[in-house]
């Protein structure tokens, strides 16, 4: 069976052959364990959904410690080129090297591939122990801007020449004093970056029948960065989607507070208030669009409401490629023990199959996982919190899930 690359047409749609070649980065620490387990599930799901007419050829590419050990580089150029060429890749967690060259392989991948949206769906899986009284009300998708904000990497240590120059410049240009022993970080938020992120979030809401998109910002304090994100968000929603959307003020002025059928409500919340809302009124929120740092915090906080990061999937999407990933780290103390929960990578793979248009296989994975959890056959992290559960190894969980597809 000849395997082919996925292509993108001129209008930006994916052209997916029946036998696509998809690169994977196994990941460090527990990466090899969860990758092996996930691959079993992906191949079985595609086979169950499409028989022999479709299959994925997995191609290993290197990043992180494995890449460093084999090539001397944390993120070899070939890896970036392979992801660009194949349009799609999936990855396990990667060690963040401390004090060595590259700041973070994950952040570097997002920036160099311009994967401008980090997407995290957070939905309760019945049976998973969690802290909420009504976790079933949590069903949100976070669109986090992925390339700018304080993650842009513009930071200078206290006492460094650059920090001193910036402090002097600010004082001479504005008269404002900054303590001379301050570290300095820059928070760029652009109209381009904000608009494309919010546009993707609203498009997703429209295409998936979601009721609202909430812009989460701290614009009351950071007016020209987070406040501007908010303004540009409303601007692009109105320009690009016209009467498919309605704002909260419109809703009350023109529609008596009732959302007209088929429209998406665009609203905004200040970030600190939003952290309360996800706990107190989760049913009122569907899609969240956030700048980078808010999105980082809120994605993990939301994952906690449905039982933690062990099962939270993620995708990084740009114009020309997409990278799907486990959202937890490398958990080095469990490396090679065949012990941890592969759920996050498995569900990220389901997002990848959705992205390919292979929704039948993706749905089988999500249903199979729910069924496996309902049978209380789970890995240690869930077994220790579930009464009457049977603890399974990482690979055993994958095999049980594959049986349940
Ligand atoms: P971590 O690797 O996520 O592990 C923290 C704890 O979370 C583990 O000790 C374990 O808890 C639990 N955990 C994580 N993954 C799990 C899984 N699949 N199944 C069950 N439990 C799981 O966070 P960390 O220790 O802060 O970070 C370790 C390394 O990973 C660092 O180098 C960090 O930079 C990197 N990292 C990478 C990514 C990424 O690649 N996207 C993300 C985050 C961190 P218990 O001890 O309670 O069992």
Question: From CA 246, how far away is CA 229, in angstroms rounded?
Answer: 18
Query: How many A from CA of 35 to the centre of ligand 1?
Result: 15
Which residues make beta-bridge pairs with 14?
Answer: 8
Token pair listed for 285: 């929120």
Q: Which of 203, 214, 207, 211 is nearest to 263 (CA)?
A: 211
Catalytic residue status for 218: yes
Atom of ligand 1 minimally distant from the CA of 92: 40
The per-type count for the chain, helices as H runs and strands as E runs, is 14, 17
Please state the φ and ψ torsions of residue 166, each to the nearest 5 degrees. Answer: -65, -40
**pLDDT band at 1, cuts 50/70/90?**
low
Determine contact, residues 298/225, Cβ cutoff 8 Å. Answer: no
Query: How many A from CA of 163 to the centre of ligand 1?
Result: 33
Mutate to test the pocket of ligand 1, among 29, 63, 329 (most ligand atoms within 8 A of CB): 329
Q: Which of 277, 324, 323, 267 is nearest to 298 (CA)?
A: 277
Predicted pLDDT of residue 385: 86
Question: From CA 140, how far away is CA 197, in angstroms rounded?
Answer: 16
Query: How many A from CA of 197 to the centre of ligand 1?
Result: 27
Determine contact, residues 322/355, Cβ cutoff 8 Å. Answer: yes
Task: Return the percentage of the chain with pLDDT > 90, whole number.
Answer: 87
Long-range Cβ contact pairs of 109-113 (< 8 A, separation 24 or more): 109/63, 109/75, 109/80, 109/83, 109/316, 109/323, 110/146, 110/147, 110/316, 110/323, 111/147, 111/153, 112/75, 112/80, 113/80, 113/83, 113/84, 113/316, 113/318, 113/321, 113/323
Predicted pLDDT of residue 70: 95
Atom of ligand 1 minimally distant from the CA of 64: 40
Predicted pLDDT of residue 220: 95
Question: From CA 344, how far away is CA 208, in angstroms rounded?
Answer: 22
β 184-185/155-156 pair status: antiparallel
Question: From CA 306, how far away is CA 160, in angstroms rounded?
Answer: 43
Determine contact, residues 8/87, Cβ cutoff 8 Å. Answer: yes
Determine contact, residues 246/261, Cβ cutoff 8 Å. Answer: no
Q: Is the pLDDT of residue 316 over 70?
A: yes
Task: Return the percentage of the chain with pLDDT > 70, whole number.
Answer: 98
Token pair listed for 239: 């320009």
User: What mean pLDDT do residues 32-48 have?
Assistant: 97
pLDDT, tens digit, 9 for 90 and up, residues 257-314 = 999 999 999 999 999 999 999 999 999 999 999 999 999 999 999 999 988 767 889 9
Which residues make beta-bridge pairs with 58?
Answer: 22
Catalogue the E-assigned strands of 155-312.
Answer: 155-156, 184-185, 212-217, 245-247, 264-270, 287-290
Mutate to test the pocket of ligand 1, among 309, 324, 330 (most ligand atoms within 8 A of CB): 330
Residue 158 CB neighbours (<10 A) = 13
pTM: 0.93
Least confident range of 15-19, 101-105, 234-238, 269-273: 101-105
Predicted pLDDT of residue 104: 85
Q: Which of 342, 345, 346 is nearest to 392 (CA)?
A: 342
Atom of ligand 1 minimally distant from the CA of 94: 40
User: What mean pLDDT do residues 33-53 have?
Assistant: 97
pLDDT, tens digit, 9 for 90 and up, residues 93-118 = 999 877 666 778 988 899 899 999 99
β 139-145/117-123 pair status: antiparallel
Contacts of 225 (CB under 8 A, 6+ apart): 149, 187, 188, 189, 291
Predicted pLDDT of residue 99: 64
Query: How many A from CA of 209 to the centre of ligand 1?
Result: 34
Predicted pLDDT of residue 153: 81
Atom of ligand 1 minimally distant from the CA of 95: 32
Question: What residue owns the CA closest to ligand 1's atom 47?
Answer: 381
Predicted pLDDT of residue 100: 61
Catalytic residue status for 181: no
Catalytic residue status for 151: yes
**Among 218, 334, 338, 354, the one annotated catalytic:** 218
**Among 28, 33, 296, 354, the one annotated catalytic:** 296
Question: From CA 17, how far away is CA 14, in angstroms rounded?
Answer: 10
Predicted pLDDT of residue 199: 98
Spell out which residues line ligand 1, taking CB within 6 angstroms.
Answer: 30, 93-96, 106, 310, 325, 328-331, 340-341, 344, 381
Predicted pLDDT of residue 177: 96
Catalogue the E-assigned strands of 193-312.
Answer: 212-217, 245-247, 264-270, 287-290
Question: What residue owns the CA closest to ligand 1's atom 23?
Answer: 329
Atom of ligand 1 minimally distant from the CA of 345: 18
Contacts of 370 (CB under 8 A, 6+ apart): 125, 126, 127
**Among 28, 33, 82, 151, the one annotated catalytic:** 151
Helix (H, G, I), strand (E, B) or coil at 317: strand
Query: How many A from CA of 387 to the centre of ligand 1?
Result: 24
Q: Which of 361, 328, 273, 317 is nearest to 144 (CA)?
A: 317
β 322-326/390-391 pair status: unpaired
Contacts of 73 (CB under 8 A, 6+ apart): 67
Query: How many A from CA of 105 to the centre of ligand 1?
Result: 15
Question: From CA 322, how far away is CA 345, in angstroms rounded?
Answer: 15
Token pair listed for 367: 């249903």
Query: How many A from CA of 285 to the centre of ligand 1?
Result: 28
**pLDDT band at 251, cuts 50/70/90?**
very high
pLDDT, tens digit, 9 for 90 and up, residues 55-104 = 999 999 999 999 999 999 999 999 999 999 999 999 999 998 776 667 78
User: What mean pLDDT do residues 138-147 have?
Assistant: 96
Token pair listed for 17: 């052959």
Question: From CA 54, how far away is CA 358, in angstroms rounded?
Answer: 10
First-to-last C-alpha distance (Å) of the chain: 24
pLDDT, tens digit, 9 for 90 and up, residues 333-386 = 999 999 999 999 999 999 999 999 999 999 999 999 999 999 999 999 999 988
Predicted pLDDT of residue 101: 64
Catalytic residue status for 286: no
């Amino acid at each position: 069976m000849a395997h082919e690359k996925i292509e993108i047409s001129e209008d930006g749609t994916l052209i997916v052959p029946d036998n696509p070649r998809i690169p994977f980065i196994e990941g460090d620490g527990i990466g090899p364990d969860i990758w092996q387990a996930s691959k079993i599930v992906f191949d079985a799901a595609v086979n169950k959904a499409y028989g022999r007419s479709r299959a994925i050829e997995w191609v290993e590419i290197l990043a992180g410690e494995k890449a460093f050990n084999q090539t001397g580089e944390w993120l070899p150029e070939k890896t970036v080129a392979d992801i660009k060429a194949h349009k799609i890749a999936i990855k396990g967690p990667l060690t963040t090297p401390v004090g060595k060259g590259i700041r973070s392989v994950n952040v570097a991948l997002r920036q160099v591939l311009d994967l401008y949206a980090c997407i995290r769906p957070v939905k309760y899986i019945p049976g998973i122990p969690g802290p909420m009284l009504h976790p079933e009300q949590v069903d949100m998708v976070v669109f986090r801007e992925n390339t700018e904000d304080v993650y842009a990497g513009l930071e200078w240590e206290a006492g460094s020449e650059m920090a001193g120059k910036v402090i002097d410049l600010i004082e001479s240009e504005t008269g404002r004093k900054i303590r001379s022993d301050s570290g300095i970080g820059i928070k760029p938020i652009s109209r381009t970056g904000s608009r494309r992120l919010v546009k993707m979030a609203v498009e997703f809401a429209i295409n998936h029948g979601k009721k609202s998109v909430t812009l989460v910002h701290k614009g009351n304090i950071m007016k020209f960065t987070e406040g501007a994100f908010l303004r540009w968000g409303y601007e692009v929603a109105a320009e690009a989607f016209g009467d498919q959307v309605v704002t909260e003020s419109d809703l009350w002025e023109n529609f008596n507070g009732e959302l007209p059928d088929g429209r998406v409500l665009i609203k905004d919340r200040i970030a600190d208030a939003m952290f309360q809302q996800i706990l107190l009124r989760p049913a009122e929120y569907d899609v969240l669009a956030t700048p980078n740092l808010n999105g980082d915090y809120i994605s993990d906080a939301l994952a906690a409401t449905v039982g933690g990061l062990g099962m939270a999937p993620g995708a990084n999407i740009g114009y020309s490629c997409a990278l799907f990933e486990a959202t937890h780290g490398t958990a080095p103390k469990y490396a090679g023990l065949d012990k941890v929960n592969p759920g996050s990578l498995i569900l990220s793979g389901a997002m990848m199959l959705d992205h390919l248009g292979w929704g039948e296989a993706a749905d089988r994975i999500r249903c199979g996982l729910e069924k496996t959890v309902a049978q209380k056959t789970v890995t240690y992290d869930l077994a220790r919190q579930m009464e009457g559960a049977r603890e399974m190894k990482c690979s055993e969980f994958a095999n049980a899930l594959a049986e349940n597809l």
